[in-house]
Amino acid sequence: MFSMFKRINAKEHVVGWYSTGPKLRENDLDIHGLFNDYVPNPVLVIIDVEPKELGIPTKAYYAVEEVKENATQKSQKVFVHVPSEIAAHEVEEIGVEHLLRDVKDTTISTLATEVSAKLTALKGLDARLKEIRSYLDLVIDGKLPLNHEILYHLQDVFNLLPNLNVADLIKAFAVKTNDMMLVIYLSSLIRSVIALHNLINNKMLNKEHERAEDSKSVTVPSAAA
């Protein structure tokens, strides 16, 4: 697998291995030792597949030799935590954003899903704008050199933006957004009404079954001779 990986990804390098954890295990040191044949100082990444908190669900470790104070005891390797972060190229970020749009939770209503998607998109746009502003401020202050290629791409982005000062365009955007939100809102209301209707029918059906069971359990007394 290592040789096949090198054939396909010649420019990339294996830096270690990962485990779903959620914590370190006893056999991790033994598995970690096997990777010394491929990587001089391999890294172990523990991935929490069911995170309960917001943030990066990964923790990275590397093995170091721990020397005991008592010379009679042998030294052993232990894992030491190393700070890590997850980054991606621009192309990968766009692909992940498109994939996240298709990931839907069936337990959440359509209206909540649409609002959550729009909120996520606005947060991403805000982060990109802040990054652009930070870069331009550093260039103006002279802390970063002027890069004409970056400025060319920024100018290209600004040129592609529509002119939002046109009254007809603003009205068209507002009408389309309101129409979409109205359809989603009505769909959520209809879905809630149908759910309540089914709940009421279920209760009525249960009452009929209870009455039928009660009528069967009632015994008729026999007449005295």
Dump pLDDT digits (tens) for 4-52.
777 777 777 788 888 887 788 888 888 888 888 888 888 999 988 887 7
181, two tokens = 């939100």
pLDDT reported for residue 118: 82
| Per-residue pLDDT tens over the stretch 85-120 | 887 777 777 777 777 666 555 555 566 777 777 888
CATH among 3.40.50.920, 3.10.20.30, 3.40.140.10, 3.50.30.30 for 2-82:
3.40.140.10
Bridge partner list, 62: 80
Which residue, among 27, 32, 24, has the nearest Cα to 15 in the 3D structure?
32
- Give yes or no for a contact between 184 and 114, defined as CB atoms under 8 angstroms apart: yes
Query: In Å, how far are 3, 74, 76 from 70, measured between CA atoms?
Result: 43, 9, 13
State pTM to two decimals. Answer: 0.40
pLDDT reported for residue 225: 45
pLDDT reported for residue 111: 64
Please state, rounded to an integer, the average pLDDT across all residues of the chain.
80
- Give yes or no for a contact between 111 and 188, defined as CB atoms under 8 angstroms apart: yes
81, two tokens = 């935590």
Q: What is the mean pLDDT of residues 118-127?
A: 87
Burial class (CB in 10 A: 0-12, 13-18, 19+), 32: buried
**Is 200 or 11 the better-scoring residue by pLDDT?**
200
